[in-house]
Structure 1
Amino acid sequence: MKIGEVAGAAGVSVDTVRFYERRGVLPPAQRRPSGYRVFPPSAADRIRSAKALQELGFTLDEVVAALQAHDTGDATCATERWRLEAVVARLDERIEQLRRVRRNAADCLADCRAGCCRLVGEPR
């Protein structure tokens, strides 16, 4: 498949396909004598898998590692569960951080409404 065909089948841009190839999500494409990339039909499925992992909260490096583990043929749900557990733990930490930031912003807003604006440091 040509790069544009892979991009269309995967629902991403041609630049995304190139980026995923550079980052190791996709194995390097074969090249025609003209220099055009030629990908196997499985490339679109691999991109969709990568996008699905990213939507779950995996970083790109984690996506690459998970796909490489899958490529070895030894990956099972039991052996790979730790990856998803790490994502959930990271998301929980981020949610708590956002809750703290929101509380601080809400407190600042309440002070502002009460005539004591913390943004400029003096009452208004």
Structure 2
Amino acid sequence: MKIGEVARSAGVSVDTVRFYERRGVLPSADRRPSGYRVFPASAADRIRSAKALQDLGFTLDEVVDALRAHDTGDATCASERWRLEAVVARLDERIAQLQRVRRNASGCLADCRAGCCRLVGEGVVKP
């Protein structure tokens, strides 16, 4: 498949296909004498798998590692569960951080509504 066909089939841009190839999500494509990349039909499925992992919260490096583990043929749910556990732990920490920021912003908003705007003291707004 040419790069444009892979991109259309996977629902991504040609630039995304090139990027994924550079980052190791896709193996390097063969080249025709004309220089055009030629990908196996499985490339679109691999891109969809990578996007699905990213949608779960995996970083691109984690996606590459997970796909490499799959490529060895040794990957099982039991052997790869730690990857998803790490993603969930990272998401939990991010949620906790966002909750702290939201509490602070809500408190600041309540103070502003009560006429005691903290933003004035911080020099952000004029009294």
Give the structure-2-normalised TM-score: 0.95
Q: Which whole-Å CA distance do the structure 2 matches of 1:14 and 1:119 have between them?
A: 46
Q: Which runs of 4+ in 1 moved over 4 A?
A: none
1:65 and 2:65 matched: yes
Residue identity opposite 1:69 in structure 2: A
Once the 2 structures are TM-superposed, how far is the Cα of residue 119 of structure 1 from its aligned partner? 1.3
Once the 2 structures are TM-superposed, how far is the Cα of residue 21 of structure 1 from its aligned partner? 0.3
CA RMSD of aligned residues (A): 1.1
**Percent identity over the alignment?**
88
SS at match of 2:35: coil
Please list, as runs of the form range in 1=range in 2, the aligned pairs for 1:43-82 lying within 5 A after superposition.
43-82=43-82
Q: Which whole-Å CA distance do the structure 1 matches of 2:113 and 2:15 have between them?
A: 47
Q: Which whole-Å CA distance do the structure 1 matches of 2:98 and 2:41 have between them?
A: 41
Once the 2 structures are TM-superposed, how far is the Cα of residue 15 of structure 1 from its aligned partner? 0.3
- What do residues 15-48 of structure 1 show as CA deviations (whole Å, max 9, x unaligned)? 0000000000000000000100000000000000
Question: Is there any run of 5+ residues in structure 1 with no aligned partner, and where?
Answer: none
Q: Which whole-Å CA distance do the structure 2 matches of 1:119 and 1:113 have between them?
A: 12
SS at match of 1:119: helix
Once the 2 structures are TM-superposed, how far is the Cα of residue 71 of structure 1 from its aligned partner? 0.2
- Which residue is equivalent to 1:25? 25
Q: Which whole-Å CA distance do the structure 1 matches of 2:119 and 2:44 have between them?
A: 49
- What do residues 46-74 of structure 1 show as CA deviations (whole Å, max 9, x unaligned)? 00000000000000000000000000000
Q: Which whole-Å CA distance do the structure 1 matches of 2:15 and 2:38 have between them?
A: 15
Question: Is there any run of 5+ residues in structure 2 with no aligned partner, and where?
Answer: none
Q: Which whole-Å CA distance do the structure 2 matches of 1:27 and 1:119 have between them?
A: 52
